[in-house]
Amino acid sequence: MSKEMGLLSKSDVATGLLLTLLSVNLQGQDIEAYPAQEWSEIAAADAQLDQTKIDRLFDLSFQDSATQGVVLIKNGLLVGERYADGFSTDSYGTSWSMAKSFYAALIGISIDRGEIISLDDPVALYLEYFNDERRDITLRDLLNMTSGLDFPDHEHEDMFFSADHLDYARNVGVEKEAGLIFEYNNVNSMLLADILLQATGVAADTLLRERIFDKIGLDDVTLWQDGAGNPLTYCCVDTTARQYARFGLLFARDGNWNGEQIIPKQFVDETFSKVWDSLNSDTIAQDRGYSLHWWISRHDDQAVIFNASGKFGQYIFIDRANDIVFTRITKYHSTGGSKQDWGALKYINWFGTVDFRIAVAGLLDSMGIIKIEGDIATPVTFDDGTSQEFFTNYSTIIDALIDISQP
196 within a domain of the structure (yes/no): yes
Radius of gyration of the chain (CA): 22
| pLDDT mean over 15-19 | 51
CA–CA dist 93, 91 (Å, integer) = 7
CA–CA dist 373, 375 (Å, integer) = 6
Q: For the chain, give the mean pLDDT.
A: 90
CATH of the domain at 387: 3.40.710.10
In this structure, which amino acid lies at residue 144? N
CA–CA dist 291, 304 (Å, integer) = 13
Residue-number span of the structural domain to which 360 is assigned:
343-375
Q: Are 39 and 218 in contact (CB under 8 A)?
A: no
DSSP string over 40-90: -B--TTTTT--HHHHHHHHHHHHTSTTEEEEEEEETTEEEEEEE-TT--TT
What pLDDT is stored for residue 244 in this prediction?
98
| pLDDT mean over 222-239 | 98
Task: Based on the fold, state whether residues 316 and 361 are members of the same structural domain.
Answer: no
Task: Based on the fold, state whether residues 359 and 386 are members of the same structural domain.
Answer: no
| pLDDT mean over 309-334 | 97
Task: Based on the fold, state whether residues 263 and 359 are members of the same structural domain.
Answer: no
**For the chain, percent helix, then strand, then coil, each to nearest 5?**
40, 20, 40
| pLDDT mean over 25-53 | 86
Indicate if the pLDDT at residue 17 is higher than 70: no
302 within a domain of the structure (yes/no): yes
The number of domains in the chain is 2
**Run of H or E including 319:** strand 314-319
Task: Based on the fold, state whether residues 303 and 284 are members of the same structural domain.
Answer: yes
Indicate if the pLDDT at residue 14 is higher than 80: no
54 within a domain of the structure (yes/no): no
Task: Based on the fold, state whether residues 292 and 348 are members of the same structural domain.
Answer: no
pLDDT digits (tens, 9 = 90+) for 148-183: 999 998 889 889 999 999 999 999 999 999 998 999
Tell me the C-alpha to C-alpha distance, in Å, between residue 392 and each of 60, 282, 285, 286: 11, 10, 6, 9
CA–CA dist 297, 315 (Å, integer) = 11
Query: In whole angstroms, what separates CA 246 from the centre of its chain?
Result: 11
Q: Are 41 and 72 in contact (CB under 8 A)?
A: no
Partners of residue 314 on adjacent β-strands: 310
Task: Based on the fold, state whether residues 331 and 353 are members of the same structural domain.
Answer: no
55 within a domain of the structure (yes/no): no
CA–CA dist 51, 159 (Å, integer) = 44
Task: Based on the fold, state whether residues 309 and 371 are members of the same structural domain.
Answer: no
254 within a domain of the structure (yes/no): yes
Cα maximum dimension of the chain? 77
Q: Are 145 and 151 in contact (CB under 8 A)?
A: no
**Which is more confidently placed, 358 or 234?**
234
CA–CA dist 203, 30 (Å, integer) = 39
Task: Based on the fold, state whether residues 219 and 359 are members of the same structural domain.
Answer: no
